[in-house]
Structure 1
Amino acid sequence: MAEHEAAQTALMWAAAGGHADVVRVLAESGADIHARTPRGFTALMFAAQFGDVATAQVLLEAGADLEGRALDGSTPLLVASRSMDALAGIDWRIIPSQSGHQDTALFLINQGADVAATDKRGRTALHAAVETGRPILAKALIDAGAGIDGQFGSPPPPLRGDYISRNSFKGASPFWLAARDANLPMMRILLEAGADPFLPNAYNVTPLMIASGLGENDARRPQDHLVVDAVRLLLDLGADVTVTNRYGQTALHGAASMWEDGVIQLLVDNGADVNAEDQRGRTPLYLVEYGNANAPSESTADLLRQLGAAEPVVQR
């Protein structure tokens, strides 16, 4: 029997609500464990999305497909890894610890789920673990053989409502995502596992650039001290401050556009050209004075001038 509004069966509704006992009764009564919605979701995927280990266990015992895929290529493990509670999503540091999604993902890994599986956009469970700020899950995926440097084939749908800089995710690796969030614990986990700290995205934006703020928006930037620490770590690893993206912009352009004074000082101390021009002839100081929708940051402009920035030429 199908629910008309969402094409969900009674089994799916029970799984989506975490009602393991109801799921067991329905399965024993002959409910179709393998039924799918028009988007290819199974009851096990709904259990993964809800974050309920008991329901997932009942479904697997009844013969549910651990590696079944939705139309977007998602497996139950991918669904569990990327799902979050309603209160989560603003910042990796406030993911509620009581969320059952991580426990469900860990359970699926222990059941033998393919940790290398990707959806049609190239997202892996490790990408999702990094984006949702789950170091325990990330370690479990790595220990189970997840690829460290997998890259998105195309930008995934926003996990956190960030539509402004989402296109930059094309080609992003898990480490790149951790650098973007200035999530040092996650960066170190990935480094210990052999992640490439210099691997750029499809637009040649390196982890150093994204950590510095290149292509970002100030509405979702991490706290300044975390950004400085992340940039310092990348510089200590040997990140090149002179590398440019496909538009000729450097990490310093990014730090200037985000008014990250501490990062600016770090980058210049490590050889960044304070007068570097992008393909449109814009310097970091130009971006501070004319490239932000808000009023210019006087402290950032003063710092750049103290570091030797020439007055920008404004095209009339």
Structure 2
Amino acid sequence: MYRVIIILFGLLLLGCQPDGSEEEKTIFQEGVKELDQSFITYAKNGNTEKVLQLLQQGVAINAVDSDGTTAVLAATQNNQIETVKVLIEAGADLDVQNDHLDNVLLYAGAEGMIEIVKLAIDAGADTTITNRFGGTALIPAAERGHVDVVKELLVHSDVDVNHINNLHWTALLEAVLLGDGGTSHQEIVQLLVDHGADMTIGDREGVTPLEHAIKNDYSEIAEILKAAE
């Protein structure tokens, strides 16, 4: 059996398909899955040399693991910047979402991985794709205080500054509601209003960002919002 697997791996790397029995075809398919998993694992670990080798041997660049995660997303999740770059240059699809509805831009944006965010934007990642909460990459970045990511998205992409997620929150609302009112969130609020954030969009009860800022005693943010009215 081991010899058959080795032979079928060789056929796979040569781009061939087995013409034999159903057993051989099953073994071949299992071999493909093992090769795909190895490829994704190498990407996850930042082993760019092995990733390039398997790409040259014909591995499917957008193959997914049991969670629907591609190699480029696995590399992103571990902040393997060089591996992500190589996979993008090789044509990896950045917009593929896994079972948690994460993709490269959504994950990198939420985690503050600015270099990967830049790579994704430069490669034309779709900014309209939403996460499991119905939000674009901008919204969690604003909530978590990732100033550089927010700025990058607003200045260098076509992200919708007024997108409303499933909770009926915009990036501005999340920055006020879930932020800490500190300097990072103050800067984010300023960036958002400077790039056209609609301050009249309230939550499901109609409470606006300014009203939330006053309620939370975020005086600096309240002043930014008042000045922008």
* TM class, shorter-length: 0.7 to 0.9
Task: Find 2:204's aligned residue among 243, 246, 257.
Answer: 246
Deviation at residue 182 of structure 1 after TM alignment: 3.0
Q: 2:139–2:174: 8 Å Cα contact kept in structure 1?
A: yes
Q: Which runs of 5+ in 1 are unaligned?
A: 2-26, 85-100, 155-169, 272-316
Question: Contact between 2:111 and 2:141, CA under 8 Å: does it hold in 1?
Answer: no
Please state whether the residue corresponding to 2:117 is helix, strand or coil. helix
SS in 2 for 1:34: helix
1:194-243 Cα distance to aligned partner (Å, 9 max, x none): 2111112112101111111x1x2x7xx5x811111111121223323232
For residues 76-114 of structure 1, the C-alpha deviation after alignment (integer angstroms, 9 at most, x for no partner) is 111111225xxxxxxxxxxxxxxxx11111111111111
2:40 equivalent to 1:45: yes
For 1:64, what is the secondary structure of its paired residue?
coil
Decide which of 149, 153, 160 is 1:196's aligned counterpart.
160
| 2:195 aligns with one of 237, 246, 256 | 237
* Residue 260 of structure 1 pairs with residue 218 of structure 2: yes
Q: Which amino acid aligns with 1:142?
A: I
- Would you identify which runs of 4 or more consecutive aligned residues in structure 1 move more than 6 Å? none
SS for the counterpart of 1:119 is coil
What is the CA RMSD across the aligned residues, in angstroms? Answer: 2.9
Please give the alpha-carbon distance, in whole angstroms, between the structure 2 residues aligned to 1:257 and 1:71: 45
> What percentage of aligned pairs have identical amino acids?
25
How far apart, CA to CA, are the structure 1 residues paired with 2:171 and 2:224?
A: 15
User: Structure 1 residue 207 and structure 2 residue 171: aligned?
Assistant: yes
Match of residue 125 from structure 1? 104
Which residue does the alignment assign to 1:110?
A: 89
**Corresponding residue of 1:35:** 33
Tell me which protein shows more helix as a share of its residues: 2
State the AA in 2 paired with 1:70: D
1:35 is paired with a residue whose SS is helix
Q: Deviations over 1:260-298 (max 9, x none)?
A: 331123234445xxxxxxxxxxxxxxxxxxxxxxxxxxx
Deviation string for 1:119-156 (max 9, x for gaps)?
A: 2343221112212323332222222221022111x2xx
**Residue 63 (str. 1) matches residue 79 (str. 2):** no
- Which runs of structure 2 are paired with 1:277-288 in the superposition (5 Å)? none
Question: How does the TM-score come out when normalised to structure 1?
Answer: 0.57
| Counterpart residue number, 2:26 | none
For the residues of structure 1 that align with 2:214 and 2:121, how far apart are their CA atoms? 35
Q: String of CA shifts for 1:57-86, please: whole Å, max 9, x gaps.
A: 2332343321111233211111111225xx
Look up the match of 1:162: none
After superposition, give the CA deviation of every residue in 1:143-183 in whole Å (9 maximum; x if it has no partner): 2221022111x2xxxxxxxxxxxxxxx01101222222333
CA distance, structure 2, for counterparts of residue 110 and residue 224 of structure 1? 38
Q: Given that residues 205 and 245 in structure 1 are in contact (C-alpha distance below 8 angstroms), is that contact kept between their aligned partners in structure 2?
A: yes
Counterpart-to-counterpart distance in 1, 2:111 and 2:206: 31
Partner SS state of residue 58, structure 1: helix
1:179 is matched with which residue?
A: 142
Alignment partner for residue 79 of structure 1, among 74, 82, 85?
Answer: 74
Contact 1:179 1:187 in 2 (8 A): yes
Contact 1:75/1:117, CA 8 A, preserved across alignment: yes
